[in-house]
Protein backbone atom coordinates (compact mmCIF):
# COMPACT_ATOMS: atom_id res chain seq x y z
CA UNK A 1 0.00 0.00 0.00
CA UNK A 2 1.40 3.38 -0.92
CA UNK A 3 1.79 6.21 1.52
CA UNK A 4 3.63 9.35 2.45
CA UNK A 5 6.50 9.98 4.83
CA UNK A 6 7.26 13.52 5.94
CA UNK A 7 10.78 14.28 7.14
CA UNK A 8 10.54 17.23 9.48
CA UNK A 9 13.55 19.11 10.81
CA UNK A 10 13.03 21.41 13.79
CA UNK A 11 14.99 23.59 16.19
CA UNK A 12 15.05 20.76 18.72
CA UNK A 13 15.14 17.52 16.78
CA UNK A 14 13.75 15.61 13.81
CA UNK A 15 10.32 14.07 13.46
CA UNK A 16 9.01 11.55 10.96
CA UNK A 17 5.32 11.67 10.09
CA UNK A 18 3.79 8.78 8.16
CA UNK A 19 0.42 8.06 6.65
CA UNK A 20 -1.19 5.81 4.10
CA UNK A 21 -2.32 7.18 0.75
CA UNK A 22 -5.49 8.66 2.26
CA UNK A 23 -3.35 11.08 4.29
CA UNK A 24 -5.94 11.38 7.02
CA UNK A 25 -4.32 9.58 9.92
CA UNK A 26 -0.69 10.30 10.71
CA UNK A 27 1.81 8.64 13.00
CA UNK A 28 4.32 11.00 14.58
CA UNK A 29 7.72 9.52 15.40
CA UNK A 30 10.36 11.48 17.27
CA UNK A 31 12.13 13.46 18.38
CA UNK A 32 15.25 12.06 16.81
CA UNK A 33 18.47 13.82 17.89
CA UNK A 34 16.54 15.64 20.61
CA UNK A 35 17.93 19.01 21.54
CA UNK A 36 19.85 19.52 18.29
CA UNK A 37 18.87 21.75 15.40
CA UNK A 38 17.94 19.65 12.39
CA UNK A 39 18.26 21.91 9.40
CA UNK A 40 17.23 19.36 6.79
CA UNK A 41 16.36 15.70 6.28
CA UNK A 42 15.98 14.28 2.80
CA UNK A 43 15.65 10.83 1.24
CA UNK A 44 17.26 9.39 -1.84
CA UNK A 45 14.97 9.28 -4.88
CA UNK A 46 16.60 5.96 -5.78
CA UNK A 47 16.20 4.33 -2.37
CA UNK A 48 13.55 6.04 -0.21
CA UNK A 49 14.82 4.29 2.90
CA UNK A 50 18.18 6.02 2.56
CA UNK A 51 17.87 9.29 4.46
CA UNK A 52 20.40 11.98 5.23
CA UNK A 53 20.02 14.46 8.09
CA UNK A 54 21.90 17.62 8.97
CA UNK A 55 22.22 17.79 12.77
CA UNK A 56 23.84 20.99 13.92
CA UNK A 57 24.61 23.22 16.87
CA UNK A 58 26.23 26.61 17.19
CA UNK A 59 28.06 25.16 20.17
CA UNK A 60 29.12 21.75 18.96
CA UNK A 61 29.24 22.00 15.19
CA UNK A 62 28.01 19.83 12.38
CA UNK A 63 26.95 16.19 12.44
CA UNK A 64 25.73 14.21 9.45
CA UNK A 65 23.37 11.35 10.21
CA UNK A 66 22.27 8.63 7.81
CA UNK A 67 19.48 6.09 7.96
CA UNK A 68 19.19 3.01 5.77
CA UNK A 69 15.78 1.97 7.06
CA UNK A 70 13.59 5.00 6.54
CA UNK A 71 14.48 6.69 9.79
CA UNK A 72 14.00 3.83 12.25
CA UNK A 73 17.70 3.79 13.08
CA UNK A 74 20.47 6.25 12.36
CA UNK A 75 24.24 6.12 12.10
CA UNK A 76 26.95 8.62 11.60
CA UNK A 77 28.48 7.41 8.36
CA UNK A 78 31.90 5.98 9.03
CA UNK A 79 31.21 5.23 12.66
CA UNK A 80 28.59 2.51 12.37
CA UNK A 81 27.89 0.59 15.57
CA UNK A 82 30.13 -2.45 15.77
CA UNK A 83 32.70 -1.13 13.35
CA UNK A 84 36.25 -0.46 14.53
CA UNK A 85 36.50 3.11 15.71
CA UNK A 86 40.02 3.51 14.43
CA UNK A 87 41.75 2.90 11.16
CA UNK A 88 44.29 0.03 10.92
CA UNK A 89 47.07 2.46 11.75
CA UNK A 90 45.25 3.63 14.86
CA UNK A 91 43.87 6.94 13.61
CA UNK A 92 40.33 7.82 14.68
CA UNK A 93 37.55 7.69 12.12
CA UNK A 94 34.37 9.73 12.25
CA UNK A 95 35.11 11.93 9.28
CA UNK A 96 31.47 12.22 8.30
CA UNK A 97 31.17 15.52 10.12
CA UNK A 98 34.18 17.03 8.44
CA UNK A 99 33.46 19.91 6.11
CA UNK A 100 36.73 21.60 5.29
CA UNK A 101 36.97 24.07 2.44
CA UNK A 102 39.19 22.73 -0.33
CA UNK A 103 42.32 24.84 -0.60
CA UNK A 104 44.44 22.12 -2.18
CA UNK A 105 46.55 23.09 -5.19
CA UNK A 106 44.97 20.35 -7.32
CA UNK A 107 41.26 21.06 -7.00
CA UNK A 108 40.83 23.77 -4.40
CA UNK A 109 40.54 27.52 -4.28
CA UNK A 110 42.28 29.93 -1.97
CA UNK A 111 40.19 30.65 1.10
CA UNK A 112 39.55 34.33 0.58
CA UNK A 113 36.98 36.64 2.13
CA UNK A 114 33.41 37.64 1.45
CA UNK A 115 31.48 40.80 2.23
CA UNK A 116 30.34 41.20 5.85
CA UNK A 117 27.18 42.98 6.97
CA UNK A 118 29.06 46.26 7.36
CA UNK A 119 30.62 46.09 3.91
CA UNK A 120 34.06 45.00 5.09
CA UNK A 121 35.63 41.74 4.03
CA UNK A 122 35.28 38.74 6.34
CA UNK A 123 36.96 35.33 6.30
CA UNK A 124 35.04 32.33 5.05
CA UNK A 125 34.06 30.15 8.05
CA UNK A 126 32.16 26.87 7.98
CA UNK A 127 29.09 26.97 10.23
CA UNK A 128 26.52 24.34 9.25
CA UNK A 129 24.83 22.33 6.53
CA UNK A 130 21.56 23.91 5.44
CA UNK A 131 20.46 21.52 2.73
CA UNK A 132 21.19 17.93 1.70
CA UNK A 133 20.35 16.87 -1.85
CA UNK A 134 20.73 13.17 -2.64
CA UNK A 135 21.71 12.29 -6.20
CA UNK A 136 19.01 11.24 -8.66
CA UNK A 137 20.88 8.05 -9.54
CA UNK A 138 23.08 6.85 -6.66
CA UNK A 139 21.98 6.66 -3.01
CA UNK A 140 25.58 7.01 -1.86
CA UNK A 141 26.05 10.28 -3.73
CA UNK A 142 24.73 13.36 -1.93
CA UNK A 143 25.33 17.11 -2.10
CA UNK A 144 25.43 19.49 0.86
CA UNK A 145 24.81 23.22 0.76
CA UNK A 146 26.58 24.92 3.62
CA UNK A 147 27.06 28.21 5.48
CA UNK A 148 29.39 30.05 4.75
CA UNK A 149 28.24 29.42 1.23
CA UNK A 150 29.82 26.47 -0.50
CA UNK A 151 28.77 23.20 -2.09
CA UNK A 152 30.14 19.87 -0.89
CA UNK A 153 29.52 16.35 -2.13
CA UNK A 154 29.97 12.85 -0.77
CA UNK A 155 30.15 9.78 -2.97
CA UNK A 156 30.41 7.26 -0.14
CA UNK A 157 27.14 7.63 1.67
CA UNK A 158 28.07 10.73 3.63
CA UNK A 159 31.30 9.42 5.09
CA UNK A 160 33.69 11.85 3.40
CA UNK A 161 32.87 15.26 2.02
CA UNK A 162 34.70 17.22 -0.64
CA UNK A 163 34.03 20.78 -1.66
CA UNK A 164 33.19 21.65 -5.25
CA UNK A 165 35.46 24.62 -4.85
CA UNK A 166 34.80 26.28 -8.19
CA UNK A 167 31.63 27.80 -6.79
CA UNK A 168 33.17 29.52 -3.76
CA UNK A 169 36.12 30.41 -5.96
CA UNK A 170 33.99 32.29 -8.47
CA UNK A 171 35.38 35.75 -9.16
CA UNK A 172 32.33 37.30 -7.52
CA UNK A 173 32.95 35.56 -4.17
CA UNK A 174 34.25 38.67 -2.39
CA UNK A 175 30.91 40.38 -3.20
CA UNK A 176 28.73 37.70 -1.62
CA UNK A 177 27.20 38.71 1.66
CA UNK A 178 25.13 37.06 4.38
CA UNK A 179 21.40 37.46 4.61
CA UNK A 180 19.71 37.77 7.97
CA UNK A 181 20.00 34.00 8.40
CA UNK A 182 23.66 33.84 7.45
CA UNK A 183 25.47 33.33 4.15
CA UNK A 184 23.87 30.04 3.33
CA UNK A 185 23.68 27.84 0.27
CA UNK A 186 20.12 26.65 0.73
CA UNK A 187 18.82 25.38 -2.62
CA UNK A 188 20.29 22.62 -4.78
CA UNK A 189 18.44 21.49 -7.92
CA UNK A 190 19.75 18.58 -9.96
CA UNK A 191 18.76 18.54 -13.63
CA UNK A 192 17.24 15.12 -14.39
CA UNK A 193 17.92 15.50 -18.12
CA UNK A 194 21.50 16.73 -17.87
CA UNK A 195 23.64 15.16 -15.14
CA UNK A 196 26.29 17.84 -15.58
CA UNK A 197 23.87 20.66 -14.75
CA UNK A 198 23.20 21.81 -11.19
CA UNK A 199 21.44 24.95 -9.98
CA UNK A 200 22.13 26.39 -6.53
CA UNK A 201 21.07 29.51 -4.67
CA UNK A 202 22.77 31.48 -1.94
CA UNK A 203 21.42 34.12 0.41
CA UNK A 204 22.56 36.78 -0.33
CA UNK A 205 24.56 36.16 -3.47
CA UNK A 206 21.95 34.85 -5.86
CA UNK A 207 21.50 31.83 -8.11
CA UNK A 208 24.29 30.00 -9.93
CA UNK A 209 24.45 27.21 -12.51
CA UNK A 210 27.10 24.72 -13.49
CA UNK A 211 27.04 22.86 -16.80
CA UNK A 212 30.18 20.85 -16.19
CA UNK A 213 29.33 18.89 -13.07
CA UNK A 214 30.43 21.57 -10.61
CA UNK A 215 33.85 22.60 -11.90
CA UNK A 216 32.79 26.05 -13.06
CA UNK A 217 29.78 28.17 -12.18
CA UNK A 218 27.90 31.05 -13.72
CA UNK A 219 25.77 33.57 -11.84
CA UNK A 220 22.23 33.44 -13.25
CA UNK A 221 20.64 36.58 -11.86
CA UNK A 222 19.81 38.62 -14.92
CA UNK A 223 16.38 40.16 -14.49
CA UNK A 224 16.48 40.18 -10.70
CA UNK A 225 15.93 43.60 -9.20
CA UNK A 226 16.79 44.18 -5.55
CA UNK A 227 16.30 47.69 -4.25
CA UNK A 228 18.09 46.95 -0.99
CA UNK A 229 21.53 46.66 -2.63
CA UNK A 230 23.61 49.49 -4.09
CA UNK A 231 23.18 48.29 -7.68
CA UNK A 232 19.68 46.79 -7.91
CA UNK A 233 20.62 44.89 -11.08
CA UNK A 234 24.01 43.61 -9.88
CA UNK A 235 25.39 40.31 -11.13
CA UNK A 236 25.46 39.01 -7.53
CA UNK A 237 24.20 40.17 -4.14
CA UNK A 238 20.53 39.25 -4.50
CA UNK A 239 18.85 37.59 -1.56
CA UNK A 240 17.30 34.56 -3.23
CA UNK A 241 15.21 32.71 -0.67
CA UNK A 242 14.41 29.54 -2.59
CA UNK A 243 14.30 28.11 -6.11
CA UNK A 244 12.22 25.24 -7.47
CA UNK A 245 12.12 23.15 -10.64
CA UNK A 246 9.67 20.58 -11.97
CA UNK A 247 11.56 17.49 -13.10
CA UNK A 248 9.69 17.35 -16.41
CA UNK A 249 10.81 20.86 -17.36
CA UNK A 250 14.27 21.57 -16.00
CA UNK A 251 14.65 24.69 -18.14
CA UNK A 252 11.91 26.37 -16.12
CA UNK A 253 12.79 27.65 -12.66
CA UNK A 254 10.68 29.45 -10.09
CA UNK A 255 12.18 31.67 -7.41
CA UNK A 256 10.96 33.25 -4.20
CA UNK A 257 13.30 36.16 -3.70
CA UNK A 258 13.56 38.38 -0.61
CA UNK A 259 10.94 40.40 -2.39
CA UNK A 260 9.48 39.24 -5.75
CA UNK A 261 8.37 35.92 -7.15
CA UNK A 262 10.36 35.22 -10.30
CA UNK A 263 10.34 32.80 -13.21
CA UNK A 264 12.90 31.73 -15.78
CA UNK A 265 12.27 29.62 -18.87
CA UNK A 266 15.86 29.49 -20.05
CA UNK A 267 17.58 27.70 -17.18
CA UNK A 268 18.14 30.90 -15.27
CA UNK A 269 19.75 32.95 -18.04
CA UNK A 270 16.97 35.50 -17.62
CA UNK A 271 14.20 36.03 -15.10
CA UNK A 272 10.89 37.85 -15.10
CA UNK A 273 8.66 38.77 -12.22
CA UNK A 274 5.41 36.82 -11.77
CA UNK A 275 4.32 38.19 -8.39
CA UNK A 276 0.96 39.30 -9.82
CA UNK A 277 -1.78 39.68 -7.24
CA UNK A 278 -0.25 38.13 -4.11
CA UNK A 279 -0.85 40.32 -1.03
CA UNK A 280 2.90 40.43 -0.41
CA UNK A 281 5.62 39.10 -2.68
CA UNK A 282 7.98 38.62 0.25
CA UNK A 283 8.25 35.03 1.45
CA UNK A 284 10.52 32.06 1.79
CA UNK A 285 9.34 28.75 0.24
CA UNK A 286 8.14 28.12 -3.30
CA UNK A 287 7.12 24.74 -4.62
CA UNK A 288 5.53 23.08 -7.64
CA UNK A 289 2.63 20.63 -8.02
CA UNK A 290 3.94 17.11 -8.66
CA UNK A 291 1.89 16.60 -11.84
CA UNK A 292 1.21 20.14 -13.07
CA UNK A 293 4.43 22.02 -13.81
CA UNK A 294 2.57 25.35 -14.15
CA UNK A 295 0.93 25.06 -10.73
CA UNK A 296 3.08 26.71 -8.08
CA UNK A 297 2.70 27.59 -4.41
CA UNK A 298 4.02 30.35 -2.16
CA UNK A 299 3.26 31.59 1.35
CA UNK A 300 3.18 35.41 1.40
CA UNK A 301 4.87 37.01 4.41
CA UNK A 302 4.25 40.63 5.31
CA UNK A 303 7.76 42.05 4.97
CA UNK A 304 11.45 41.54 5.59
CA UNK A 305 11.11 42.97 9.09
CA UNK A 306 7.70 41.50 9.91
CA UNK A 307 8.13 37.78 9.31
CA UNK A 308 4.50 36.75 9.64
CA UNK A 309 1.50 36.48 7.32
CA UNK A 310 -0.26 39.71 6.29
CA UNK A 311 -3.29 40.51 8.47
CA UNK A 312 -2.60 37.53 10.76
CA UNK A 313 -4.09 35.20 8.11
CA UNK A 314 -2.06 32.16 7.13
CA UNK A 315 -2.66 31.78 3.42
CA UNK A 316 -1.02 29.66 0.78
CA UNK A 317 -1.24 31.17 -2.68
CA UNK A 318 -1.51 28.93 -5.71
CA UNK A 319 -1.02 29.89 -9.32
CA UNK A 320 -2.20 27.47 -11.99
CA UNK A 321 -0.69 29.66 -14.69
CA UNK A 322 2.93 29.57 -13.71
CA UNK A 323 2.65 32.87 -11.87
CA UNK A 324 0.99 36.29 -12.20
CA UNK A 325 -2.52 35.01 -11.40
CA UNK A 326 -2.80 33.71 -7.86
CA UNK A 327 -5.65 32.33 -5.75
CA UNK A 328 -5.63 32.26 -1.98
CA UNK A 329 -6.00 28.89 -0.23
CA UNK A 330 -7.36 29.25 3.28
CA UNK A 331 -9.67 26.32 4.05
CA UNK A 332 -8.40 24.75 7.26
CA UNK A 333 -5.71 27.39 7.87
CA UNK A 334 -5.96 29.96 10.69
CA UNK A 335 -7.48 33.19 9.41
CA UNK A 336 -6.98 35.35 12.46
CA UNK A 337 -4.23 36.04 14.99
CA UNK A 338 -1.66 33.92 13.20
CA UNK A 339 1.90 35.29 13.31
CA UNK A 340 4.09 32.35 12.40
CA UNK A 341 6.64 32.16 9.59
CA UNK A 342 7.20 29.42 7.02
CA UNK A 343 10.88 28.93 6.29
CA UNK A 344 12.43 28.30 2.90
CA UNK A 345 12.87 24.52 3.07
CA UNK A 346 9.66 23.92 4.99
CA UNK A 347 7.34 23.17 2.06
CA UNK A 348 7.14 20.01 -0.01
CA UNK A 349 4.80 18.01 -2.25
CA UNK A 350 4.08 14.30 -2.60
CA UNK A 351 3.51 12.53 -5.91
CA UNK A 352 0.31 10.63 -5.23
CA UNK A 353 -2.44 10.95 -7.86
CA UNK A 354 -4.06 13.76 -5.96
CA UNK A 355 -0.97 15.81 -5.18
CA UNK A 356 -0.36 16.37 -1.48
CA UNK A 357 1.31 19.53 -0.26
CA UNK A 358 2.78 20.17 3.18
CA UNK A 359 4.41 22.98 5.09
CA UNK A 360 5.72 23.56 8.58
CA UNK A 361 5.71 26.76 10.61
CA UNK A 362 7.91 28.42 13.17
CA UNK A 363 5.02 27.84 15.58
CA UNK A 364 5.52 24.09 15.31
CA UNK A 365 2.53 23.23 13.15
CA UNK A 366 2.79 20.98 10.11
CA UNK A 367 -0.13 21.49 7.75
CA UNK A 368 -1.03 19.09 4.99
CA UNK A 369 -3.38 19.09 2.04
CA UNK A 370 -4.27 15.95 0.10
CA UNK A 371 -6.14 17.88 -2.59
CA UNK A 372 -3.43 20.10 -4.02
CA UNK A 373 -4.09 22.89 -1.54
CA UNK A 374 -7.88 23.20 -1.72
CA UNK A 375 -8.20 22.24 1.95
CA UNK A 376 -5.75 21.84 4.82
CA UNK A 377 -5.42 20.05 8.12
CA UNK A 378 -2.90 20.39 10.90
CA UNK A 379 -1.09 17.05 10.97
CA UNK A 380 0.63 18.06 14.18
CA UNK A 381 0.40 21.35 16.05
CA UNK A 382 3.00 21.59 18.74
CA UNK A 383 6.42 20.64 17.46
CA UNK A 384 9.44 22.87 18.00
CA UNK A 385 9.88 25.55 15.33
CA UNK A 386 9.94 23.79 11.97
CA UNK A 387 13.00 24.36 9.79
CA UNK A 388 12.40 21.88 6.99
CA UNK A 389 9.76 19.55 5.57
CA UNK A 390 10.42 16.96 2.87
CA UNK A 391 7.70 14.64 1.56
CA UNK A 392 8.49 11.15 0.36
CA UNK A 393 5.98 9.17 -1.68
CA UNK A 394 6.32 5.55 -0.66
CA UNK A 395 5.51 2.63 -2.99
Partner 1 sequence: MIRVVLPHHLRTLARVGDEVKLEVNGRATTQSVLDALEARYPMLRGTIRDHGTQKRRPMVRFFVCGEDVSHDPPDTALPEAIVNGAEPFFIMGAIAGG
Interface contacts to partner 1, rule CB under 8 A: 33-36, 57-63, 76, 78-79, 85-86, 92-95, 97-101, 126
Complex with partner 1: residue 101 or 208, whichever CB lies closer: 101
Determine how β-strand 347-349 pairs with β-strand 113-115: unpaired
Least CB distance to partner 1 at residue 138 (A): 25
Complex with partner 1: residue 93 or 218, whichever CB lies closer: 93
Complex with partner 1: residue 76 or 280, whichever CB lies closer: 76
Least CB distance to partner 1 at residue 164 (A): 17
Residues 20 and 18: their CA atoms lie apart, in Å, by: 7
Q: What's the longest Cα–Cα distance across the chain?
A: 64
Which of 56, 55, 57, 58 is closest to 66 using CA atoms?
A: 55
Distance of CA 219 to the CA centre of its chain: 19
Whole-angstrom CA distances from 116 to 176, 204, 258 are: 8, 11, 18
Least CB distance to partner 1 at residue 348 (A): 27
Complex with partner 1: residue 92 or 395, whichever CB lies closer: 92
Least CB distance to partner 1 at residue 380 (A): 23
Residues 281 and 200: their CA atoms lie apart, in Å, by: 21
Least CB distance to partner 1 at residue 123 (A): 12
What is the per-residue burial (b if ≥16 Cβ within 10 Å, else e) of 150-188?
A: bbbbbeebbbebebbbbbbbbebbebbbbbebebbbbbb
3-state secondary structure of 246: coil
Complex with partner 1: residue 85 or 227, whichever CB lies closer: 85
> How many other CB atoms sit within 10 Å of the CB of residue 67?
21
Complex with partner 1: residue 35 or 195, whichever CB lies closer: 35
Least CB distance to partner 1 at residue 107 (A): 16
Phi/psi for 311 (5° steps) reads 65, 20
Amino acid sequence: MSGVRLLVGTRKGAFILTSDEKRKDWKVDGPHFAGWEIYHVKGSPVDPNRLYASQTSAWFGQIIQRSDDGGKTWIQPGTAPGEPTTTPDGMPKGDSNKFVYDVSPETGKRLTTHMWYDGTQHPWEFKRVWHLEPSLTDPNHVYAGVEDAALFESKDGGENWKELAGLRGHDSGPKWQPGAGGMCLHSILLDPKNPKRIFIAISAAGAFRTDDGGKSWKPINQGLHSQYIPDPHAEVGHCVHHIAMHPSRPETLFMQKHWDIMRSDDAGDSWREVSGNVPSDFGFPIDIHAHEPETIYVVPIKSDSEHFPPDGKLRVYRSRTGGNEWEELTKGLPQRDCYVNVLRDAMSVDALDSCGIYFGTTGGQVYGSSDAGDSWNAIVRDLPAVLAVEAQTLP
